[in-house]
Chains A and B, each alone.
Chain A
Amino acid sequence: MKDLGAPLLSIVDGRRAASRRIRGPQPHFGPPLRCNARLKKLLTRHYFMSRYAEGARPVAWVTSGAPVELLRVFDFYTVYPENHGALCGAKRMGTELCAAAERQGYSRELCAYARIDLGHHFTGKTPAGRLPRPDLLFACNNICQTVVYWFRSLAHYWDIPLVLVDTPFNFETPSDLQNQYVAAQLEETIPVLERVSAQRFDLGRLQHVIGLAKDTAALWGEVLDTLKARPAPMTIFDAFAHLAPIVSLRGLAVTRTYYRMLLEELRERVDRGIGALTVERKRLMWDNIAIWFKARELAGLFAERGLNFVTATYTNAWAETGAMIEPQRPFESLAKAYSRIILNNNLKGRLQLMERLIEDFGVDGLVMHSARSCKPYSIGQYDLKRALTDHLQIPSVIVEADIADARAYSDKQVATQLGLFFEALEHRDVPRR
């Protein structure tokens, strides 16, 4: 669930711009989604409003996999540092902010999002204009342990409370014991949230918020399901951007409304046979976080070969676990849903998910991004790749790069890796159905 770039509007913009640029002799992209403009408006408003939240509303900085529904009850304005990291990466400001953190002694080996965030702390620089200083940090280690150390550093520098929801990793089938532990922690956070927000907890409101989140997750699942169509009405690069509201604005009515509109538009495109690419020859799956500073370039590179990414391992995470949420059992069901997201599951679980996605979406090839920043996503990919090759005989490639630090990217190396993959893909005779 890492990152899910809310402000990846630049990617959307880029896709539209690229589409405009190349809709001459070689128009590889179909018409852009009408909802892109709506998404931009929604997220721009969110970031714009955040500048004025400080002092007016309690502000929390939140990790992408944290159960934000709890914060909504207390009217917290939420900011996602991982989103911000993705934005900085996409705007090619990531390296500069990483370097700023490194000058303060932070190792280049650490997660680029964390370094960007710390670099922002030390310099105040951000492409978002200004980020509000938080009253509270809210972290959940269901996406990685790194967020624990990262948010502890922020808590230290700002001397503000850090609420950590500790979700034991699912090495095996999740046990009742784990679930009860997470649920009990959620209940234990209530007094802290009450104190910081100066508001009383309201169970009815939590149930309402959870209901919205559940509905929205279901809609998101339906949105992703439209990509099963041939041609797929959008690419997974579009989905990365349109995932942003369910992450950043989960539990709000505006988000549910947004996904209803997006779903309607995508279904209309499916009915009319409008694809994300003008020609969709083969269908691919992406594994891991995007290479934000190269996303536009990579989207074009694949599109010109008629290769469309129709699914990714993390985009459906909220759709999948959202169904586990039960408004009548708020703490228990939130604990269950948030403990079972992809990055908190063992590699066997990830393999099963990938196999299912490959089958369901008729995937012909797999691109795995080994992200230097993200150990939980990247360690184990070699074994996953081997297992998928054995089980499904599917061509795959591992691209070594990073999510937001451009210094970890080698054009030449990636070109070589992808060149071999393209060749293997072309020699795969029978497309999957």
Chain B
Amino acid sequence: MTATDLPERKTYLRQQKAEHQRNVLGVFPAVYPREVLWSLNILPVEIWDPPLQAGRSAAHLPPNTCDVACRGLELILQGHCDDLDGFLFPHTCDSIQNLASIVNDYLGTGKPCFFFHPPRGSNSKAAGLFYRRQLESLASAVRQHFGGPFDAGVLSASVAMGQAIDAAICEIYELRGQDRLRVDNAEFYEILRAGEYLHPNETLPLLKKLTEKTGSVDHRKTPVVLSGVLPSPPAFLRLLDDLDLRIAADDFMNCSRRLQVPPDPIEDPFTALTERYFRMPVCPTRQSTTLQRMQRLIALVGSTRAAGVIFSVLPFCDPELFDLPPLVAELEKRGIRTLVVEAGLNRQLSGQVAVRVEAFAEMIGSGLQ
């Protein structure tokens, strides 16, 4: 399987249900214990940016709601979730929180809703214990609803699978940072993001195949670091490709911020998952400080020799918008060029965004290196 023959999402879900008797959970952003679901033969399918025209969600959400929440609700309201057997709402932000309550309390979808609270504070004893017990509680609730036994061995295998996936993605990022990966931005993220709906049995070979696409690159592109919620829309990534900008590293909420580096050996699967959570890179929706985010971005720029940082901002995304000014100020102070764009999630990129990115590419000397 490659990027060109990735299965269409709906067809794939139906196939998973039919062939593997898997239940499918629609999972809203951002962090959740996928391994627990895998171990219970449940396929998590993440809902970030479905390509839909907004319409019916406006009857439920005020105009100051972020596009991720709007599109998620739109997906449900337009009847595209019929194949899902339930929803999982991690408590990520105020918008997802109230969206979850609307779905659970008012929409009457007839599907079960599960919830998960990623602790916001530091890795304290209380937070660690709470996280671990939540894992057990979620496993129990899901099992109770869908049936099937819990098997610690199967969970350990799922954790190992998750670690293998994380390790493969880390290797891919490393290759990408060294400019040894022969795929463009659009294809790179298409493959990475396939893990949002593929079963790990399919994700891992796909990633392995990507690591084989290495070699010297004929045409050097200007490396940049991207930060934000998610690498979307594809038109934005294609624009960067057209401008010879290579995303050498990212700080996206739904990509590198969810990776565990490096993995721990698995003694107890719940402990391993708890440690995984607290060892993920910093994210404002979880435990992090502004300084830690700065340090991470500076490190990414340094390790990839990026010529600048592009912040791809989603309107009304509070966690990202609060961090933005000090991050931009510090990077600029260090002589690192920055660009803040509101690319949005619309399929069509606005002319204004395109012009600003073009100007930035020119400024950092894209194509001249």
Tell me the A residues contacting B by CB distance below 8 Å. Answer: 104-107, 109-111, 114, 141, 144-146, 148-150, 152-153, 155-157, 164, 166, 168-169, 171-172, 175, 177-178, 180-181, 184-185, 187-188, 346-348, 351, 370, 372, 375-376, 378-383, 387, 400
Q: Which residues of A contact B101 (CB under 8 A)?
A: 171, 346-348, 380
Beta-carbon contact of A110 and B318 below 8 Å: yes
* Interface residues on chain B, number (Cβ under 8 Å): 55
CA distance A171 to B100 in the complex (A): 8
Beta-carbon contact of A347 and B102 below 8 Å: yes
Q: Which of A141, A164, A379 has the most chain B CB atoms closer than 10 A to its own CB?
A: A379
Beta-carbon contact of A145 and B326 below 8 Å: no
A172-B115 CB under 8 A given contacts A188-B125, A188-B126, A376-B97: yes
Q: Would you call B353 an interface residue if the criterion is a C-beta within 8 Å of the partner chain's C-beta atoms? A: no
CA distance A400 to B120 in the complex (A): 31
Chain A nearest CB, measured from B292 CB (Å): 10
Residue of A171, A188, A346 near B124 (CB, 8 A) is A188
A149-B89 CB under 8 A given contacts A188-B125, A188-B126: no
CA distance A107 to B324 in the complex (A): 9
Beta-carbon contact of B289 and A375 below 8 Å: no
Beta-carbon contact of B102 and A166 below 8 Å: no
Tell me the B residues contacting A by CB distance below 8 Å. Answer: 59-62, 64-65, 69, 89, 91, 93-95, 97-102, 104-106, 113, 115, 117, 119-121, 124-127, 129-130, 133-134, 137, 284-285, 288-291, 315-316, 318-319, 321-326, 328-329, 340
Beta-carbon contact of A146 and B318 below 8 Å: yes
A169-B321 CB under 8 A given contacts A109-B64, A379-B61: no
A105-B325 CB under 8 A given contacts A152-B290, A378-B62: yes
Beta-carbon contact of B60 and A109 below 8 Å: no
Beta-carbon contact of B65 and A185 below 8 Å: no
A109-B316 CB under 8 A given contacts A181-B126, A347-B98, A380-B102: yes
Known: A188-B125, A376-B94, A378-B64. 9 other contacts (CB 8 A): A104-B329, A171-B100, A180-B130, A347-B98, A375-B95, A379-B61, A379-B98, A383-B60, A383-B102
Beta-carbon contact of A375 and B98 below 8 Å: yes
Residue of A150, A370, A380 near B322 (CB, 8 A) is A150
Beta-carbon contact of B289 and A370 below 8 Å: no
Q: Which residues of B contact A378 (CB under 8 A)?
A: 62, 64
Chain B nearest CB, measured from A306 CB (Å): 30
Q: Enumerate 12 A-B pairs (CB-CB under 8 Å) in ascending A order.
A: A109-B316, A110-B321, A146-B94, A152-B284, A156-B291, A164-B121, A171-B100, A185-B124, A347-B102, A375-B95, A383-B105, A387-B106
Q: Which residues of B contact A400 (CB under 8 A)?
A: 62
A185-B121 CB under 8 A given contacts A375-B94, A380-B98: yes
Residue of B nearest to A176 (CB): B133
Q: Which residues of A contact B94 (CB under 8 A)?
A: 144-146, 375-376, 379
Beta-carbon contact of A153 and B62 below 8 Å: no
Beta-carbon contact of A149 and B319 below 8 Å: yes
Q: Which residues of A contact B125 (CB under 8 A)?
A: 184, 188
Beta-carbon contact of B323 and A164 below 8 Å: no
CA distance A380 to B61 in the complex (A): 7
Chain B nearest CB, measured from A411 CB (Å): 19
Beta-carbon contact of B316 and A166 below 8 Å: no
Chain A nearest CB, measured from B25 CB (Å): 15
CA distance A168 to B131 in the complex (A): 11
Q: Which of B100, B106, B125, B290 has the most chain A CB atoms closer than 10 A to its own CB?
A: B106
Beta-carbon contact of A375 and B120 below 8 Å: no
Beta-carbon contact of B126 and A184 below 8 Å: yes
Beta-carbon contact of B289 and A155 below 8 Å: yes
Q: Which residues of B contact A180 (CB under 8 A)?
A: 130
Beta-carbon contact of A105 and B324 below 8 Å: yes
Chain B nearest CB, measured from A350 CB (Å): 9
Beta-carbon contact of B93 and A145 below 8 Å: yes
Q: Which residues of B contact A372 (CB under 8 A)?
A: 62, 64
Residue of A110, A168, A175 near B91 (CB, 8 A) is A168
Residue of B nearest to A106 (CB): B325
Q: Which of B124, B125, B325 has the most chain A CB atoms closer than 10 A to its own CB?
A: B325
Residue of A104, A109, A145 near B319 (CB, 8 A) is A145
Residue of B62, B134, B290 near A379 (CB, 8 A) is B62
CA distance A347 to B113 in the complex (A): 14
Closest 4 CB pairs of A and B: A105-B325, A184-B126, A149-B322, A379-B98
Chain A nearest CB, measured from B71 CB (Å): 15
Chain A nearest CB, measured from B101 CB (Å): 4
Chain B nearest CB, measured from A186 CB (Å): 9
Q: Which residues of B contact A106 (CB under 8 A)?
A: 321-322, 324-325
A375-B60 CB under 8 A given contacts A145-B94, A185-B126: no
Beta-carbon contact of B97 and A153 below 8 Å: no
Beta-carbon contact of B120 and A382 below 8 Å: no
Residue of A104, A109, A164, A383 near B321 (CB, 8 A) is A109
Beta-carbon contact of A156 and B289 below 8 Å: yes
Chain A nearest CB, measured from B324 CB (Å): 6
Beta-carbon contact of A149 and B284 below 8 Å: yes
Beta-carbon contact of A184 and B129 below 8 Å: yes
Q: Which residues of A contact B97 (CB under 8 A)?
A: 145, 169, 376
CA distance A346 to B98 in the complex (A): 8
CA distance A149 to B323 in the complex (A): 8
Chain B nearest CB, measured from A188 CB (Å): 6
Q: Which residues of B contact A375 (CB under 8 A)?
A: 64-65, 94-95, 98, 316, 318
A382-B59 CB under 8 A given contacts A171-B89, A171-B101, A185-B126: yes
CA distance A370 to B91 in the complex (A): 22
CA distance A149 to B287 in the complex (A): 10
Q: Which of B98, B288, B291 has the most chain A CB atoms closer than 10 A to its own CB?
A: B98
